[in-house]
Structure 1
Amino acid sequence: MNKSKSIFTVFLLVSFVLTYSPLSSQEPKGKGNSISDLAPTPPLGFNSFDSYLVFLSEEKANAMIDIMADKYKPFGYEYFVIDAGWYDNVELYKGTYYPKKRLGLAIDGYGLPEPSKAYFPSGIKPLADHAHEKGLKFGVWIIRGIPKVAVEKNLPIKGTRYRARDIADTTSICVWSDKNYGVDMSKPGAQEYYNSLIDKLASWGVDYIKVDDMVPNPKEIMAIAKAIENGGHKMMYSLSPGDVNSMDNLPYYKKANMLRITADIWDNMLSIEKGFYAWEKFFGLEGNDFWPDLDMIPFGRLCVESPDFLEDIPEEAKSRQSLFTQDQMKTFITQRALAASPLFIGGDLLTMDDFSYSLLTNKNMLACNQNGVMGVNIYRAGNLDVWLTPNKEDPGKGWVGIFNRTTTDRKVKLSKYDLGFTEFKDSYNVVENTNAFKLKDIWNDSEFIIDSDYKFFVPANGVVFLEYSELSTIK
Structure 2
Amino acid sequence: MNLNYKSILVLSILLCFVLGVSCVQTNSKSQETKQPLVKLAQTPPMGWNSFDSYGVYLHEEAAMANLEVFARKLKPHGYEYFVIDAGWFGEFKLQEGTLYPAEKHAEILNFNEFGLLQPSKTYFPNGLQPIIDRCHELGLKFGIHLMRGIPRAAVEANTKVKGTKYFAQDIADTTSICEWNHQNYGVDMSKPGAQDFYNSLINQMADWGVDFLKYDDLVPFPEEIKGIAKAIEQCGKPIVYSLSPGNHVDPNHLVAFKTAHMLRVTPDIWDEQVGIDQCFLAWRKWQGKEEPGFWIDMDMIPFGQLQLMSPKPEGVNGDETKIEVANKIKLGELSNIELLAGKGWTRQSEFTIDQMYTFITLRALSASPLMMGGDLPTLDDFSLKLITNKDILECNQNGVMGTLVYDHDSVEIWKTRKREGDSGWIGIFNRSTSLKSLSLSLDELQLDITKQYFIYDIWGGKEVNSFDYDINPNGVVFLKYSTKEND
Q: Which runs of 5+ in 1 are unaligned?
A: 1-32, 423-432
Identity within the alignment, %? 52
1:462 equivalent to 2:475? Answer yes
- After superposition, the C-alpha distances for 1:419-468 in whole angstroms (9 at most, x for unaligned) are 1103xxxxxxxxxx222322111112111234xxx312211110000001
The match for 1:449 among 451, 462, 465 is: 465
- After superposition, the C-alpha distances for 1:73-122 in whole angstroms (9 at most, x for unaligned) are 01010000000110111232234322236441111111110101111111
Map residues 305-344 of structure 1 onto 2, 5 A cutoff.
305-309=309-313, 311=337, 313=339, 316-344=343-371
8 A contact 1:412–1:457 mirrored in 2: yes
SS in 2 for 1:100: coil
Given residue 319 of structure 1, which amino acid in structure 2 is its aligned partner? T
- 1:410 aligned residue: 436
Deviation (angstroms), 1:163: 0.3
The match for 1:438 among 454, 458, 463 is: 454
Deviation (angstroms), 1:312: 6.7
Map residues 390-401 of structure 1 onto 2, 5 A cutoff.
390-394=417-421, 396-401=422-427
C-alpha RMSD of matched pairs (Å): 1.5
1:227 equivalent to 2:231? Answer yes
Q: Which runs of 5+ in 2 are unaligned?
A: 1-35, 314-335
- 2:402 aligned residue: 375
SS in 2 for 1:351: coil
- 1:37 aligned residue: 39
The match for 1:158 among 157, 162, 169 is: 162
The match for 1:182 among 174, 180, 186 is: 186
- After superposition, the C-alpha distances for 1:298-323 in whole angstroms (9 at most, x for unaligned) are 00010011142354747923110000
Map residues 260-279 of structure 1 onto 2, 5 A cutoff.
260-279=264-283
- 2:80 aligned residue: 78
Map residues 4-403 of structure 1 onto 2, 5 A cutoff.
37-100=39-102, 102-309=106-313, 311=337, 313=339, 316-394=343-421, 396-403=422-429
TM-score when scaled to structure 1?
0.88
Given residue 139 of structure 2, which amino acid in structure 1 is its aligned partner? G
Deviation (angstroms), 1:261: 0.6
Aligned residue pairs total 427
8 A contact 2:245–2:267 mirrored in 1: yes
Tell me whether 175-184 or 209-218 shows the greater mean CA deviation: 175-184
Aligned mates of 1:115, 1:166 — CA distance in 2: 25
- 2:10 aligned residue: none
- 1:24 aligned residue: none
8 A contact 1:56–1:97 mirrored in 2: no
Higher share in strand: 1
Where in structure 1 do 4 or more consecutive aligned residues deviate above 4 Å?
312-315
8 A contact 2:91–2:110 mirrored in 1: yes
8 A contact 1:404–1:460 mirrored in 2: yes
Given residue 437 of structure 1, which amino acid in structure 2 is its aligned partner? Y
1:421 equivalent to 2:447? Answer yes
TM-score when scaled to structure 2?
0.85
Given residue 66 of structure 1, which amino acid in structure 2 is its aligned partner? E
- 1:11 aligned residue: none
SS in 2 for 1:90: coil
SS in 2 for 1:447: strand
8 A contact 2:303–2:374 mirrored in 1: yes
Deviation (angstroms), 1:371: 0.4
8 A contact 2:427–2:476 mirrored in 1: yes
